[in-house]
Amino acid sequence: MERKLEVIPAIQDAVAIGVKNSASLVLTVVFYVLTIWIPYLNVGTTIAMATIPGKLAQGSVINPTFIFDSVYRRRMGSYFLLQGFLHIMMVPAFCFLIVPAIVLSVMYSLALFIMLDKDVTPTEALELSNKATYGFKWKIFFVSLVYAILFGIVFWIIFAICDAIDVGLITLILMIAVIVLGICCGTALNAVIYRNLFLNVQEPATKPLQAEA
C-alpha cells in the first residue's frame, strides 16, 4: 500500500481513535503514576508508555495493564541506546538555528515505535524511520501544527462559553476533560502517522520503503 498522509482524514482518524481509547489511556496513566516510584519496574513502564502510539496503530483498544509486561524491561538497553543517539544528534542540530533539529525530530519520530514494535536494533529503527518519513516531513509537521491549533481553538471556545455562563466547578471539570481528551487524540495522531507511513506499507519492515520526492 502506498504511503499517504492527508491533514483532515488524519485528524479525523486521530479523534476517533483517541475517543475510543480515552478511558483505557487515562487508566494506563494512572497505573503509571502510581508505580513510577518503584525502581526497575519504572523503567519498563516508561518504555511501555512510549509504545502507546504503536499499539493504537494496531486498531484495538489497549489494555492498561500492558505496561507491566516484563518484555519492556528487557528492551531497556535498546531504549536507552536509541535515546542516546537521538540526543547526540539534536545537540549540534540546535546550533544551526533550530530548523535542522526540527527536521531531525520529524525524521526519526517513528524510530521508537518501529524499534519496539518490530524488534529491530536502534540503528535499524532510525534508518527505517528516515525512509518512512522521506517526502512527508513537512506534512507531518503541518498535520501536527493544524491539530494543535484546532485543539487550542476548541479549548478556548469551550472555556469562553463556560466562563460566560459562570458554572464554576463544572467549568474546571470540563476543561480538564477537554485537555485529557486532547492529549488522547494527540497521542492517537502519532499512531495514525505511524500506521499510514509505516505499518500500512506493503514492503516488509526490514526492506527499504519506496522514496518520494
**Best CA proximity match to 140, nearest among 105, 111, 101:** 105
Residue written as cell 531504549?
79
Whole-structure pTM value? 0.83
Helix (H) or strand (E) holding 92: helix 76-94
pLDDT block averages, 10 residues each, the chain of length 213: 84 92 93 91 92 87 90 90 87 76 89 88 92 91 92 83 70 80 91 90 47 38
Q: What is the pLDDT of residue 1?
A: 66
Q: For residues 82 and 111, what is the distance between their CA atoms, to the nearest angstrom?
A: 8
The burial of 137, by beta-carbon neighbours within 10 Å (0-12 exposed, 13-18 middle, 19 or more buried), is given as: middle
